[in-house]
Structure 1
């Protein structure tokens, strides 16, 4: 009996340690979900500005070229069902709706599945726009489908009816896969980099990266003045990518090591964001590391936030109003006041009398003072650890006046208001890790691991058996390769000049909205004006590479349509040329050669 008890105790201890190392806190998963959803909405908003240019047949990549030349077997895209702007706008709206559902935690698993599918569809619609951040986002969303993302800070949590308390952490095949997927981004990137002497032992990679004008910011160009610092950054980045993720798995003082690792990598990506214009990549990477926040940190924050003011708060609502019940539950969850009691006004005669007198819910503070209508909302916000900053705005007299009238309108039309919350149902939440689901995620993870090994050493892992299951990677878009600035940063630097001749003989620069043609090297501000966003920046980089031969004719047609759609008569575009001013990056101290080449000519007739 003693031996069995000791064995059982040892198994419990082992599982607890595995859960600590490879499990994830449900609150960290919720924060991760919110960050991913915000990035999805931001990315959709940015891309929607070029909806016609990038995702319709009237843009730079019609579907005929996409399906015949750029797609690999197994690729698919909902966006490719039509080349019309209206259809694309509708798909963008649906994707935005799914990202919004993911943000608030409504039908979270369904929203995660739909968001993953729509992101894969969007990326497949125009492969010429894809950058490293897009690959990371797809990989993260894939594992999100198997995780309990809606257990905290969500509509699902607000309307949870289960009497069982939720666990703090969850250990499953999906938590293991997400954890190691994030590590793979760094380990395989470091493996690629180690093959190039520019990273090790020369230590010149950061110099080349910041010399690539397509990406460099003002701050990045400023750093070029400090060669020893650039060498330090190069070597420290390489070693951090190799060793840094390992500190997540230190079996002793795990919380301390995890917090130090999280802060270190967040600092690394803030540095990337300050010195390089690489789209959402730095922010996405920061959100990746927030998923590792340990349970002990959340518990400590919770204790600090549990002040007498919050502990003494009570909220009373009309028990006969289903709409009211849902609203107070939602407010408690999203204002991060989880321990506040929600009570039925009918159970307290004096509270009930006030509710009828003021036609309002009743909020009682820690000093037994009562608050009503919109003023009660302002008071609750003043106690929220996240939305406290809104209190001065909510209590500003004009806002208070409008808010009170709005509250009174809703209170007088509860049945109508209830129609808006009708889809929100009280349901129990269960956080489970079924064995079949764990087996599926582990098999997919093993497949992903082999794919990463294959991307790094194709001559070793290029086997017939692996080739026969390539379709899995392309359907799921788990075909990943983390060669980010590896094996070395790009050196094919330069800029485009596109002089166009109008019908009246005038020559204009099509990249600068018809201004005078200039072959001078553009400044950082000028590049930002030309590229607009990371998608255009990536497109122009690809235009100068092997894929550019396929893209040029269609980009040329797009330029003609775009200009002539805005101009008439003698101001219409007759023909144009595309020139690339090649400025290949050379080692420090050498003269940088600059040469001009004409890469494309086209008539608009």
Structure 2
């Protein structure tokens, strides 16, 4: 039993999938909370019409929160915006998650009118589990750039947080099926889907393809409902059994997208649940796939990034780029080593040129320098994908080189170095 417990919860595995899930959790939470904060005065200030949820919070806590002055409401709104953003980018990941979750609970207790749904309760439970550790900041984060770990994507962590998230998803579906078939549930004895499709309250169903065809066939609708219940009962077992796991992941994601296409459901179904299904992919398999990609690029001709190894700021930037270079697509070359060894610089570059800016040399010996380098390598590194719209934003072709030239000229003041190599020659 001890070995089984260790294998299920305490075995160390890479946390890279949990890091991706952190981004999804931050975006999902923001998609729910931000629309209500836009109407902060109408929904949360004193005198606003409020709806409380005593089934979720104790009465004493609700009474305490209702006494909040408007200044405290504004404070928690600022806390939410800042912590949601820092969680998204992975800066102080665990503390950011704790602060964001606290602000979510505060606004939920203050007024449940906008967010009082089962999917929101599920999201809050998910956030609480993410608050337990900072493992989700191991990669795709600012935190990983600030640490000394050279391969943060491969860092192994106890698996218990990801396992609990898996269990949450599986048993959410199982509990949903129980509610549909026991107690007041009528999915086997009646045809609730038929009523929803034919007599829908406003805002329940959408106009989807073949809706008119399906509406007039109660038998087809009934068996579709039975099939949904069976799927919800079985999905937890299919997800945890390795031979059926991938099929169950595809089935679960397809089911969520089907809900989005046919029913008006909360944003949680769009963002969170599909990502939770992907948490069932073994992180070791993901790491093996990454290593295969790295070995492939290591054996093939790679892009060469020439940098000034005597510049402290340059070395810091290269360390960050190495961490972001998940698939090992670049070869990092300290040009001082080439010069010391008597090797000519590639692409006919001179020492004066490479002292002024970094250069990226392609296999055809074509060299790109300065800001253009970032426009080339941003397509190679997943961590730089979010910056692509900024790097290629209209006008950045003019502003970017100017900003780069300023930083390059003053990099001695920023990062320091040894000797005079960090003092870029004028011109």
Band the TM-score falls in, shorter-chain normalisation? 0.7 to 0.9
- Does the Cα contact within 8 Å between 2:375 and 2:391 map onto a contact in 1? yes
Structure 1 residue matching 2:76: 3-state secondary structure: helix
The aligned runs of 1:553-592 (5 Å cut-off) are none
Work out the CA distance in 1 between the residues paired with 2:401 and 2:194. Answer: 58
Partner of 2:172: 185
Cα gap change, 1:327/1:399 in structure 2, threshold over 3 Å: closer, same or farther? same
Partner of 2:276: 288
Partner of 2:20: 31
Structure 2 residue matching 1:292: 3-state secondary structure: coil
- Does the Cα contact within 8 Å between 2:297 and 2:328 map onto a contact in 1? no
Matched, 1:53 2:50: no
Cα gap change, 1:118/1:213 in structure 2, threshold over 3 Å: closer, same or farther? same
Q: Where in structure 2 are there 5+ consecutive unaligned residues? A: 416-427
The aligned runs of 1:107-126 (5 Å cut-off) are 107-126=92-111
Work out the CA distance in 1 between the residues paired with 2:57 and 2:131. Answer: 25
Post-superposition shift, 1:208? Answer: 3.6
The aligned runs of 1:71-86 (5 Å cut-off) are 72-73=58-59, 75=61, 82-84=68-70
Larger relative contact order (Cα-Cα within 8 Å, sequence gap ≥ 6): 1
- Does the Cα contact within 8 Å between 1:25 and 1:293 map onto a contact in 2? no
Q: 2:255 aligns with which of 245, 248, 268?
A: 268
TM-score of the pair, normalised by structure 1 = 0.57
Post-superposition shift, 1:275? Answer: 1.5
Q: 1:375 aligns with which of 361, 372, 379?
A: 372
Work out the CA distance in 2 between the residues paired with 1:172 and 1:307. Answer: 29
Partner of 2:218: 227
Q: Deviations over 1:361-388 (max 9, x none)?
A: 2333344543211110111023346867
- Does the Cα contact within 8 Å between 2:304 and 2:333 map onto a contact in 1? yes
- Does the Cα contact within 8 Å between 2:139 and 2:152 map onto a contact in 1? no
Q: Deviations over 1:303-352 (max 9, x none)?
A: 35765498613434444555444444444545644564555454443669
Structure 2 residue matching 1:371: 3-state secondary structure: strand
- Does the Cα contact within 8 Å between 1:52 and 1:59 map onto a contact in 2? yes
Partner of 2:88: 103
Post-superposition shift, 1:218? Answer: 2.1
- Does the Cα contact within 8 Å between 1:55 and 1:83 map onto a contact in 2? no
Q: Deviations over 1:462-518 (max 9, x none)?
A: xxxxxxxxxxxxxxxxxxxxxxxxxxxxxxxxxxxxxxxxxxxxxxxxxxxxxxxxx
TM-score of the pair, normalised by structure 2 = 0.77
Work out the CA distance in 2 between the residues paired with 1:55 and 1:293. Answer: 41
Work out the CA distance in 1 between the residues paired with 2:153 and 2:386. Answer: 30
Q: 1:244 aligns with which of 229, 235, 246?
A: 235
Cα gap change, 1:293/1:326 in structure 2, threshold over 3 Å: closer, same or farther? farther
Partner of 2:78: 93
Post-superposition shift, 1:57? Answer: 1.1
Provide the alpha-carbon RMSD of the alignment: 4.0
Post-superposition shift, 1:269? Answer: 0.8
Cα gap change, 1:408/1:278 in structure 2, threshold over 3 Å: closer, same or farther? same
Q: Deviations over 1:39-65 (max 9, x none)?
A: 22333332222211211114222xxx8
Q: Deviations over 1:51-110 (max 9, x none)?
A: 11211114222xxx86999962463699756442x6534422321221222122221111
Post-superposition shift, 1:227? Answer: 3.4
- Does the Cα contact within 8 Å between 2:84 and 2:96 map onto a contact in 1? yes
Work out the CA distance in 1 between the residues paired with 2:109 and 2:389. Answer: 46
Matched, 1:136 2:122: yes
Work out the CA distance in 2 between the residues paired with 1:138 and 1:402. Answer: 42
Structure number with greater Rg is 1
Post-superposition shift, 1:399? Answer: 3.6
- Does the Cα contact within 8 Å between 1:112 and 1:145 map onto a contact in 2? yes
Work out the CA distance in 2 between the residues paired with 1:396 and 1:165. Answer: 30
Partner of 1:7: none
Partner of 1:364: 361
Work out the CA distance in 1 between the residues paired with 2:220 and 2:356. Answer: 66
Post-superposition shift, 1:259? Answer: 1.8
Q: Deviations over 1:20-47 (max 9, x none)?
A: 9x87651211111111112223333322
The aligned runs of 1:305-384 (5 Å cut-off) are 308=297, 312-319=302-309, 321-334=311-324, 336-337=326-327, 340-342=330-332, 344-349=334-339, 354=351, 359-384=356-381
- Does the Cα contact within 8 Å between 1:362 and 1:370 map onto a contact in 2? yes
Work out the CA distance in 2 between the residues paired with 1:24 and 1:212. Answer: 47
Work out the CA distance in 1 between the residues paired with 2:63 and 2:320. Answer: 36
Post-superposition shift, 1:193? Answer: 1.4
Q: Where in structure 1 are there 5+ consecutive unaligned residues? A: 1-10, 419-605
Say which structure is richer in helix: 2
Structure 2 residue matching 1:181: 3-state secondary structure: helix
